[in-house]
Structure 1
Amino acid sequence: MKLSGRVESVLRHFKVSDLDPDLLKAQYKANTNQIPLMYFLVLVSTWGLASSFIGAAPNYLSLYLPVVLSLVAASRFVSWARLRSRRLDTRSTLKALRATNRVSGVISLVFVAWAISLTPYSDDHTRGHISFYIGITTVGCMFCLMHIRSAALMMALVINGGFIYFAWNVGDSVFVAEAINVGLASAAMYMLLNINFRDFRALIESRRHLITQQKELIRREAVTRRLSDETVRLAYVDVLTDLPNRRHFFEKLEEKMDQPNFIKPNGSVTIGILDLDGFKRINDVFGHTGGDNLLKQVAACLRGLGRTDMFVSRLGGDEFAMILDGQFEDEELEAIGADICRVISETAEEGADGSNRGLDVTASIGFARWQVPDLTPKELYERADYALYQVKRSGKGKMEIFSAEHEIEIQRIRSLEFCLRTDGIERELSVVYQPIIDTINGKVLAFEALARWNSEVFGAIPPTTFIPVAERIGLIDKLTHALLQRALDQLKTWPDNIKLSFNLSPNSMTSSVMIDRMIAQIEESGVDPCRVDVEITETAMIGNFDDVLTAIDRLKAFGVGIVLDDFGTGYSSLAHLHLLSFDKIKIDKSFVSAVLTNSASFTIVKSMLALGRQMEVGCVVEGVETEEVLKTVRRLGGTTIQGYLFSRPMAAKDILPYLAKFGQDLNPVLRRA
């Protein structure tokens, strides 16, 4: 063990340490000034020695080889001179210094080998010049490399080792004495450099300590001046759960990611975002007091895990966050996540008010590691939040770790956002139309307008991808306005008995400004409002019921029809269906496509059609793609049909030709059905 420690101690003299980022930056800054000077010294000394042997030694030694060595030195001179104006990050600084450490030994070997190769062509005077060249170059270069101790040592060992070995083999006592003298001078020089390097490092440490003290003093003075002890506690602690709050979490995360020893992100900081599934139902059933009790119990559970490497906080609502210290493999994070989900599920089963209520509340968790250089705390949080979002989409009560695939998807979404914000987006949008058929009279009742985006960058992008992005970045109203205008212009070319069915996003339905603009747009088009149906989804009513009710009342008063799209897939109740007075409901194709193979789908479609008849609300059956499905739907009472059996979505130019020959194509299908 002692021998191993000594070997390690010796090897440290030959390495550029990566433990102190501030020292690395100081070494780099000093060497951008000193290393160009070193190569200038080498160039001058080399040509001084070469000039002594022109005519005495072969041209390849006295001229050609010095030219090559000069080019090498000049290129290194230029490289370091350029670095004076550049500010590198810690990783790049470390890379540059280690490259210098490696190059110094190689270049030293080449130059000393060249000088020694001139010895056979020397006399007493020029041999002395060789010794002087080696000595002055060694001392000068060591001095210029004083802030990279390992490079100076490497150069001294290579030059002096080669010089002494050669002199000894030549057998000239004077030459040997000169070599030993240069070696001793180099050793003394290295000891001085070592002392100077220790002082230099101590100066950097003192400066860092002073800056830290100054920052801490400023922070404490600011806190003391602005906040009382109680205000500080309230600023950093969640009052309900007594856990650190959102502000405390982000400050703690920033502190972790700003530590000096974190030169390379390597997963040594991992954060998790936890969200309770089904928490809204707890508030609905037990009131906010019951919800608060559950949050306190969850906080106690997280504290009760007893993990000293985990910092837990409450971000707000039913969302908690944790910071994990150390490197964790996927399996370890999965085990931690499973443990947390288990204890929270067990806590929920005890009941929000402490009684055994058997509550069905689970937790979903998204983890993200700090593995990307220059990642900010906010960006790391967003990655964990994105992983949590993926859990919520795929199935609650689970955990997911942010991966490279997630990163690619985020970058893709950001690229889509950028493209949606460009001025030419409206030019890339188009509208296609799918007919809605009355199978009793064999007529086309309406065409549903469907948005399409053919991007110059990404090609065709489905609406299920770009519409949520447009909603999130606040551009959905702009796109809706452009698409509606195109659809209205097309509607004016159709027969008067055919209507337009247009989809409106949940965000637009809750915007009074958008409803005003839509009504004005229909008025300006000259189209009868009764020829326009607006389709809304069930999700539009979640949390915004009053706003949606107001929007529907205004649109119906204007004369526009209201259609509930994808009925049965969302969260609307029969009370909502009654209060909102829909003109039609659309039975989602997910039920219709399985009506022949799934008894539950058959029963659902049958019940919805019966419900529509009883409430005197029209039903549009979506997703009818085969004659067998059409027969079954008609047998259950469905008469208004939409699906690939009659037509796929078509371009505007194809609508009038489709209407012209519609009866010829439709009648045989209806007779068979």
Structure 2
Amino acid sequence: MSVSSVVPSRVLNLYLRLSAWLIPTFLICALIGLHVLSKHVVSDVEQRVSLRIGNLSARIAGGLERISDELQAEDALKALSAEQIMLTLMSDPAIRCAELRDPATTDALIEVPVGLGCQSSAADKDTTVPVWFDQDADLFVRWTDAEVAAARQRQRELSMMILVFGLMVALLTNYLAFRVIIGKPLNELIGRIEEAKTNAEFNAMHDSLTGVGNRRNLDEVLRDRFRRARRQDDTVTVLHIDLDGFKTINDTLGHAAGDHVLQHVSDLLEACANEKEFVGRIGGDEFVIVLENNSREGRDVEIAQKVIAQVKEPVTFDDEICRIGASIGIARSRRGDEVDQFTPERILMDSDIALYAAKRAGKGQYAIFHSDMRKDVENRKSVADDLLEAIEKRQFISYYQPQFDATGQEIRGLEALVRWQHPKHGILPPSEFIDLAEEMNLADQIDMQVLEQALADLKLTDHSGLIIPKMAVNISSTWLRSPKFLEKLRSLQIPRSRLVFEVLETVCLDELSDIQKRNITGIHEMGIELEIDDFGTGHASISGVLALQPSRLKVAREIVNAFAEEDDQKSLMEAVVALGRALGVGLIAEGVETKNHVESLSALGFESLQGYALSRPKPLETILKDYAPNSNLRNAS
């Protein structure tokens, strides 16, 4: 939050705190003002009474010599008409004067105040004639200069007290109105501002989905750890965690299930770490744990083993079972002068390299970074550059593995398997590049090159006299979600009823998107069959399988091998066969390694077989040589 938004709230808080003592202060000042005012009023009354008594005594003591003068002044005043007596308002509104004017010259003779003394308006402005007209005695009473000065001082003090008192009343009224009308909403507004500020600061440093720290928070934690490590000769340790199989959860069960899994994993990580260890999410399914400096030896491995063990436990979401794993890369800074060579960026890079090594080792493992791993990263970058060049130069070719009937003698089809014809390293299997190709979003382009070559090779087999009923090609789930998929297919010359698309079981969603439904319908309309690959290893439901309208189920090699090695797996294989018959689809087994496999699977009712016991993948030239028109039969032995 900016400083400009914080300052007003601080000013308002200060005002509200000061307001706690404003009310009693105002009341005390008001009481003091009333007390002073009452003293002045009483004093004024006392002075007036004493003046009257003193003046009355003076008049009696003066005798008769003043009577004639006073009677003359009284007669002169009574002789004046009403128009000649004017009331004028002096500078102080409390003083009024009656001016006596000469009827002939209209000059002011004397001012007769009704109230207190006043300044004469005669020609001599410096002449002061303070008088008092006593209506009861019908006499003018003269004041001394000291009495006039005292009266005027009382007037000024009284005016000042009235002004101060009125000001305090106005301030008090304003304050009460502010507290009653504006105070409560203002307090609520300040509370909301502070809450918004707190939430904004939290959101800026934490992941919105899981509540753990985000990348910005991680950067600050690492900077702090390294500052302390340099100061105290400590070590910094980072665990980089990536979830195995998370993409499958998103593809099969949707993003809601994926979010649930991420929240579950973040809770597990916080439970595995202590309160001083940082847990953060830095990517879609990537997490980081930063240990406390100078943690005890083996703490990182202990956490890694605990995380791997707990993450692989199944998670339930809407009655669906979600299974994932975790691979972990561990990187450590070293003590001594070498710690200066490490930075937050460096240790994160090292942990990422170790993570990649753990995944290559088979996933569900942890790996500790060492300098030799850097060479693997350099090789990976080299492979990435070569992949882009390979697509441009069309270096990907197809090897074909025959699919035989249940007797193992007649070819029912070929499966196109991609190989990389590397200019330096020769023929490379998919395990050497396919994962990196998927990370680089190049898998679809490679699949398209394999499809185009398979269709061209299918024509060559026809011309050679070797009729291949079905050509199977693997496609990724992203193809079925592509709006341009059908457009690409229509640009190719695809023979009807001879091309088969193999898709993984994970594509079998309970609810297909509109694009997937449109693509599946278009595929069938073009005469292309669908086959579910690796059946039995995913989490497809019956409704999901039916939505794809497959022509065959290809049972995964893991199930086939288990069936051959364990007698109790026979019932499982019988159930798979029964399911295929109930759905009205064909069955093909892959991973057939021995003659015993061929006999057992044929007896169970499998229609087609594929595996090393029958044939290894071969280039087209070898296929044509081995299965020429006059040699279309193959002995399983």
TM-score norm. by structure 1 comes to: 0.53
Question: Higher helix fraction: Structure 1 or Structure 2?
Answer: 1
Change (3 A) 1:240 1:600: same
Whole-Å separation in 2 of the counterparts to 1:453 and 1:644: 21
Change (3 A) 1:661 1:243: closer
Q: Which residue of 2 aligns with 1:584?
A: 552
Q: Which residue of 1 aligns with 2:528?
A: 560
Q: Which residue of 2 aligns with 1:469?
A: 436
Q: Give yes or no for contact 2:270–2:279 (8 Å, CA) kept in 1.
A: no
Whole-Å separation in 1 of the counterparts to 2:278 and 2:568: 47
Q: Which residue of 1 aligns with 2:458?
A: 491
Question: Aligned pair count?
Answer: 423
Q: Which residue of 1 aligns with 2:152?
A: none
Whole-Å separation in 1 of the counterparts to 2:357 and 2:369: 9
Q: Which residue of 2 aligns with 1:504?
A: 475
| Aligned equivalent of 1:252, options 203, 221, 228 | 221
Classify the secondary structure of the residue corresponding to 1:436: strand
Whole-Å separation in 2 of the counterparts to 1:661 and 1:447: 16
Whole-Å separation in 1 of the counterparts to 2:261 and 2:408: 55
Residue 418 of structure 1, CA deviation: 1.2
| Aligned equivalent of 2:484, options 489, 513, 518 | 513
Larger Cα-atom Rg: 2
| Aligned equivalent of 1:535, options 484, 487, 502 | 502
Residue 531 of structure 1, CA deviation: 1.2
Change (3 A) 1:441 1:632: closer
| Aligned equivalent of 2:573, options 595, 605, 615 | 605
Change (3 A) 1:471 1:339: closer
Letter in 2 for 1:490: D
Whole-Å separation in 2 of the counterparts to 1:278 and 1:474: 17
| Aligned equivalent of 1:334, options 301, 321, 326 | 301
Change (3 A) 1:585 1:474: same
Residue 538 of structure 1, CA deviation: 2.0
Q: Which residue of 2 aligns with 1:369?
A: 332
Q: Give yes or no for contact 2:239–2:330 (8 Å, CA) kept in 1.
A: yes
Q: Give yes or no for contact 1:519–1:555 (8 Å, CA) kept in 2.
A: no
TM-score norm. by structure 2 comes to: 0.55
Whole-Å separation in 1 of the counterparts to 2:361 and 2:509: 20
Whole-Å separation in 2 of the counterparts to 1:425 and 1:278: 30
1:639-669 deviations in whole A, cap 9, x for unaligned?
Answer: 3122233322222123333333665753x55
Q: Which residue of 2 aligns with 1:622?
A: 590
Whole-Å separation in 1 of the counterparts to 2:600 and 2:314: 44
Whole-Å separation in 2 of the counterparts to 1:267 and 1:236: 26
1:578-625 deviations in whole A, cap 9, x for unaligned?
Answer: 221111111222333453322244333333222212211111122223
Q: Give yes or no for contact 1:419–1:425 (8 Å, CA) kept in 2.
A: no
Change (3 A) 1:531 1:262: farther
Residue 260 of structure 1, CA deviation: 10
Q: Give yes or no for contact 1:363–1:396 (8 Å, CA) kept in 2.
A: yes
Change (3 A) 1:575 1:330: farther
Whole-Å separation in 2 of the counterparts to 1:444 and 1:289: 46
Classify the secondary structure of the residue corresponding to 2:600: helix
Q: Give yes or no for contact 1:542–1:571 (8 Å, CA) kept in 2.
A: no
Letter in 2 for 1:410: V
Question: Higher strand fraction: Structure 1 or Structure 2?
Answer: 2
For structure 2, the 5+ residue unaligned runs are 1-195
Whole-Å separation in 1 of the counterparts to 2:595 and 2:545: 31
The CA RMSD measured in Å over matched residues stands at: 4.6
Whole-Å separation in 1 of the counterparts to 2:617 and 2:500: 18
Change (3 A) 1:544 1:327: farther
1:246-296 deviations in whole A, cap 9, x for unaligned?
Answer: 321124335655899499xx9932212356899979x99x99998798678
Q: Give yes or no for contact 1:510–1:544 (8 Å, CA) kept in 2.
A: no
Classify the secondary structure of the residue corresponding to 1:512: coil
Q: Give yes or no for contact 1:434–1:650 (8 Å, CA) kept in 2.
A: yes
Q: Does 1:235 align with 2:204?
A: yes
Residue 365 of structure 1, CA deviation: 4.5
For structure 1, the 5+ residue unaligned runs are 1-226, 353-358
After superposition, residues 200-349 of structure 1 pair within 5 angstroms as 231-238=200-207, 243-254=212-223, 256=225, 261=230, 268-274=235-241, 298=268, 301=271, 305-307=274-276, 310-315=277-282, 320-326=287-293, 331-338=298-305
Whole-Å separation in 1 of the counterparts to 2:408 and 2:210: 65
Letter in 2 for 1:508: W
Q: Which residue of 1 aligns with 2:105?
A: none
Change (3 A) 1:597 1:231: closer
Change (3 A) 1:587 1:291: closer
Higher deviation after alignment, 542-551 or 630-639: 542-551
Residue 379 of structure 1, CA deviation: 5.8
